[in-house]
Amino acid sequence: MDLDHASPLCGAGMESDCLLVRAHREAFALIEIMAGPEADAQFHFTGIKKYFNSYTLTGRMNCVLATYGSIALIVLYFKLRSKKTPAVKAT
Amino acid sequence: MNENLFASFITPMMFGLPLVTLIVLFPSLLFPTSSRLVNNRLISLQQWMLQLVSKTMMSIPNPKGQTWALMLMSLILFIGSTNLLGLLPHSFTPTTQLSMNLGMAIPLWAGAVITGFRNKTKASLAHFLPQGTPTPLIPMLVIIETISLFIQPVALAVRLTANITAGHLLIHLIGGATLALMSINTTTALITFIILILLTVLEFAVAMIQAYVFTLLVSLYLHDNT
């Protein structure tokens, strides 16, 4: 892809602008490399790995939700446990 | 000198009324609008500069991200002009106040993140786990990525505040040192004065670079979420 003339904003006598634009494209290209829905088709997982993996979009989302859910459960457990524990009475 | 070191960072008041609003609004007077097709030199120069900046920054994001072009161009103009005006002697720089920078960073970051969660919920959630992470590291990495997400607006604000404040403090200190050395050793005072000149040139660059970095990072967060 000819980056110098790819953008309609690059015109004659604006090579320096195109260099800046190219630098930005390279910086943003790193974001584009990350997997999208179209890239998920290349992975063929079975069983639980189909839903919980760190490669597909769905797998990553489920792992994140599972982590947040676990943290919420742990917090809830300790909150409820501290309510059940009776207060120490002075003798 | 020591007791006046932080005097320039105190919010200015006049007859008990804060002048900050006027100071914050002042840079907008330097960018007049015009209804003419062919403008004067000042407006033509400003329009050329704005076109250059918007070409550089807004050619990359997708069309949805480009709807933020006006906001981002206003942001870079405001921060750049405020920082440059702050280099005038005895002037107050609003961007040295963390409250002001947080007031800019948090709404913009939150807007980008909420836009991402609304339009691309799956992708936004999947962002919290880098692709290819080994399974045992997943919980830790999710927590780390969550923390890094919430640190973004704080980092944006603190970066701008610290850079501008540090530069102003250095100018103040080296200027005071130059004055003090003049009566002691003229040669050393001359060297210190040269350092002061170089530092002032650096501060001009930092003022513009920090505006650019702030806006670029906001556009990066927007690009992640659109």
**Domain presence at residue B75:** yes
- Chain B partners within 8 Å of A7 (Cβ): 59
| H-helix or E-strand spanning residue B51 | helix B41-58
Q: A67 and B135: CB-CB below 8 Å? A: no
Structural domain range at position B116: 7-225
**Domain presence at residue B120:** yes
Residue B225: the pLDDT is 85
The number of domains in chain B is 1
Residue B222 sits at the chain A interface (C-beta within 8 Å): no
Q: B142 and A68: CB-CB below 8 Å? A: yes
The DSSP bridge partners found for residue B13 are B18
Quote the ipTM score: 0.73
The string of pLDDT tens digits covering residues B51-104 is 998 888 887 777 888 889 999 999 999 999 999 999 998 889 999 999 999 999
**Domain presence at residue B138:** yes
Q: Which amino acid is residue B189, in one-letter code?
A: A
**Domain presence at residue B174:** yes
pLDDT below 50 — which residues of chain A?
Answer: 1-17, 31-34
Question: CA B72, CA B74: separation in Å to the nearest integer?
Answer: 5
Of A27, A34, A61, the CB nearest to B131: A34
**Domain presence at residue B2:** no
The string of pLDDT tens digits covering residues B161-194 is 999 999 999 999 999 999 999 998 999 999 999 9
**Domain presence at residue B16:** yes
CA B173 and chain centroid, separation: 23
Question: CA A90, CA A87: separation in Å to the nearest integer?
Answer: 10
Question: CA A50, CA B81: separation in Å to the nearest integer?
Answer: 53
- Chain B partners within 8 Å of A70 (Cβ): 139
The string of pLDDT tens digits covering residues B92-121 is 999 999 999 999 999 999 999 999 999 889
Question: CA B178, CA B191: separation in Å to the nearest integer?
Answer: 9
Token pair recorded at residue A22: 């190219």
Residue B158: the pLDDT is 97
Q: What is the DSSP letter of A86?
A: P
Q: How many CB atoms lie within 10 A of CB B179?
A: 13
**Domain presence at residue B1:** no
| Cβ atoms of B210 and B52 closer than 8 Å | no
Q: Among candidates B214, B206, B202, B203, which has minimal Cα distance to B76?
A: B214
Residues 12-41 of A with CB under 8 A from B: 17, 20-21, 24-25, 27-28, 31, 34-36
